[in-house]
Amino acid sequence: MSLKDPEQKRAAKEEKRKKRRFASGIQQRWQKNILSVMAVIVILVGIAFSMANGVFTYNTMRSGLEAEANTTAAFLRNYLNLDYNECYASCVLLVQNYAGRDRLELQFVDGNGQILASSYGLFAEEKVQTDEVAQALETRSTVNFVGNNPSTGERIMSVATPMIYSDGRVVGVLRFVSSTRNADRYILLAMLVAMGFAIAALVLVYFSNRLFMRSILEPVAEITETAKRISAGSYGVQIQKKYDDEIGELADTINDMSTKIGRAERMQSEFVSSVSHELRTPLTAITGWSETLLAGGGNREETKRGINIILGEAKRLTSMVEELLEFTRIQDGRFTLNVRPCDLRADFEDVIFMYGSRLKQEGITLEYEESDDEIPEISCDPERMRQVFLNILDNAAKHGGEGKRITASMRLEGKNVVTRIRDYGPGIPEEELPHVKMKFYKGSSKARGSGIGLSVCDQIVELHGGSLTLENAQGGGTLVTISLPVTP
C-alpha cells in the first residue's frame, strides 16, 4: 500500500464529514421551519375534522331522536279526541309496547316529571332529574338534552315532546332517551383514524422531503466543495452537471465563473510576463548604452546615437508606466475627465498629421479621407480623445503594418460623430474578436505591448457616452469604429 492511500482515505472521510455537516445544518433548519409548520397544520386539520365529525354525529343522532319523537307524537294525536283517561291509557300502552326499545328508551312522564311508564319495563328513577321535560312543558315544543344522567353518570341524549289534550290539559310528555356510548365510540374511532392518517401523512412528507432535500443538498455540497477549490486557486475546475434545473443553472454559472477566472489568471500571468519583457528590452538598451557612454570610447556620432536610443527607450518606459497608471485609476474609479466643448475633427486631423509623419518613416501610408460634413463642437476631454486616437493608430501600425496602409475618417452620422480607422493587415482571428477589449488580453499577437491599451481606450469612450467596436473589414484588415454622441 502506498503512502498516498491513507491520505486519500482521510481526505475522502473529511469530505464526507463536511457534506454531512453541511446537510445536517440545512435539514435541521428545514425540520424546524417547514416540518414543524406542517405538523401544526396537520394537527389543526385533524382537530378540526374530529370536531366537525363529532358535531355531525351528534346532530345526526339528535335529528333521529327528534324525527322518532315527532312520528310517535303524530300517531298519538289521533287519540287526543278520545276520553282523557282513554288517551292517558293509550299513551301508557304505546310506551310499554314500543317497538324500538332495543335502540333507545321511551318514557311517558307526567306534568310533574314523574315517570309513569317506560319501554324498558322497569325504571330505576321515579322522577326525571334533567330539565328538558320542564322546558318542553313550558314551551309546549320539542326540547333536547345532551349530558350526563345525574342518577347513573352515563352520558345520554334525550328528546322531550309534550302531549296536550284537546282542552289544553297536559296528558304527559314523551321522553326518548339514548346512550351516547356508541356515538362517542364512533367519534373516538374517527379521531384515531384521522390521527393515524395525519401521522402517516407526516411520515410520508418527512421521508419524501428527506429524499428531496438529499437531491438538493448533495449537488449543493459538491458545488460548495468545488467553489472552495476555486477560491483556493484551482481555477478552471468544472462541476459535473446532473440536473437541468436551478441547481444545474448554478453549476453552469460556477463553471463559467471558473473558466473566466482561469482565463483571467492566465491573462494576468501573460500580462506580467509581457510587461516584464517590455520593461526589460528598453532597460537593457538604456543600461547598455549608458555603460558604453560612461566608458567614453565612442566617437561623436556613436555617442549621439546612444543618447537618442536612451531617450527613445525612456519615453517608451514613461508611456508604459502612464498607461499602467491610467488603467489602475480606471479600475479604482479615480479616473476623471476634463470635459469642455472642443473641435474634435481639428484634434483628430492634428493627430493624423503628427502620426502620419512617423508612419511614413516606417514605410506605412496614413490616408485621411476628408468629409464635407459640418461637424459641430462636442463636449469631451480632448486630451483623452487624442490618447484614444493615437492608441488606435499605434495598434493599427503594430498589428496591421504589414499591409503598409492605414485609412482614417470622421463623419457626422445622425446625432453621433463617427470615427473610423482601418488597417490592411491580416485582421483579428474570429475567435479572438469578443476578447480583444478585455484587460491583459493579447491573443495570438506577437507584437509588443501590455494588452491594456485597448481596454483603457474602451473605458475612455464609454465615459464619454460613446462606443468603440472592432471588426474585420471586407477585403482584409481590422476596422475600428468610435462613435460619440453630439449631445452626451
Q: What is the DSSP letter of 241?
A: P
- pLDDT, residue 272, reads 62
Whole-angstrom distance, CA of residue 407 vs CA of residue 370: 11
Buried residues in 345-371 as b, exposed as e (16+ CB within 10 A): bebbeebbeebbeebeeeebebeeeee
Query: In the predicted model, what is the mean pLDDT of residues 422-440?
Result: 81
- For residue 23, pLDDT beyond 80: no
- For residue 44, pLDDT beyond 60: yes
> What grid cell was written down for 63?
335529528
- Single-letter residue type at 422: R
Query: In the predicted model, what is the mean pLDDT of residues 399-420?
Result: 89
Q: How many CB atoms lie within 10 A of CB 308?
A: 11
Whole-angstrom distance, CA of residue 128 vs CA of residue 214: 66
Query: In the predicted model, what is the mean pLDDT of residues 83-106?
Result: 79
Q: Which domains are delineated in the chain?
A: 18-234 (3.30.450.20), 246-332 (1.10.287.130), 340-485 (3.30.565.10)
Q: What pLDDT band is residue 211 in, cutting at 50, 70 and 90?
A: confident
Question: Residues 245-262: pLDDT tens digits?
Answer: 777 777 788 777 777 777
Q: What pLDDT band is residue 22 in, cutting at 50, 70 and 90?
A: very low
> What grid cell was written down for 168?
289544553
Q: What pLDDT band is residue 430 in, cutting at 50, 70 and 90?
A: confident
Secondary structure percentages of the chain, helix, strand, coil, to 5: 60, 15, 25
> What grid cell was written down for 86?
282513554
Nearest to 323 by CA among 384, 401, 269: 384
- For residue 415, pLDDT beyond 70: yes
Query: In the predicted model, what is the mean pLDDT of residues 458-484?
Result: 90
Nearest to 177 by CA among 98, 92, 103, 77: 103
- pLDDT, residue 3, reads 45
Please report the beta strands in 352-441, taking only residues with DSSP state E, as ranges in sequence order.
Answer: 365-369, 378-380, 405-413, 416-423
Question: Residues 325-379: pLDDT tens digits?
Answer: 766 666 666 677 888 999 999 999 998 988 888 888 888 889 999 888 888 889 9
* Dihedral of alpha carbons 434, 473, 348, 389, sign: positive
- For residue 167, pLDDT beyond 80: no
